[in-house]
Amino acid sequence: MRVAVLLLLAAACKTAPEPQRAPEGPLARIVNPTPRSRAALAQAVRDALDGVPVVLADDALTRESTLVLERARHLDPEGHRAQGRELGRPEKFTLFKTGADCVLVHERTGRRLPLVATECAAVP
């Protein structure tokens, strides 16, 4: 019985998780973005989402290492949000630096997508 009590106390003292780190390297952000690197990022996200078209800002992943995408909102003919039409959860991606490579990781699936023609730097 004493062992069970100690285990419960140890579980209750759990600390907050550390920032996400993957075995492939530190968190990163894109530096010196180009039209080609932006196209590579958009293609990687489309590939991760099985071809779903995406619209990304030109500065996506240039200020932080996380990218969160929400589905487009459905509007009724008068331009108001259509109720009951929100499907799915936001998709989250995290950028890591692996040696000289930039690797985008899709949180839901764990899929790792290398970004071609993209320069990134580790986030301090």
Residue 111's SS3 state is coil
pLDDT in tens, 78-115: 777 666 555 678 999 999 999 999 999 999 999 999 99
Phi, psi (deg, nearest 5) at residue 54: -130, 155
CA distance 105 to 22: 9
Q: Write down the domain spans for the chain.
A: 27-71+90-124
Render pLDDT for 32-78 as a digit per residue (tens, 0 to 9).
999 999 999 999 999 999 999 999 999 999 999 999 998 766 677 77
The band of 28, judged by pLDDT with boundaries at 50, 70 and 90, is very high
| pLDDT for position 74 | 65
CB 104 within 8 A of CB 93: yes
pTM score, whole prediction: 0.73
Give every CB contact of residue 108 below 8 A, 6+ residues apart in sequence: 91, 92
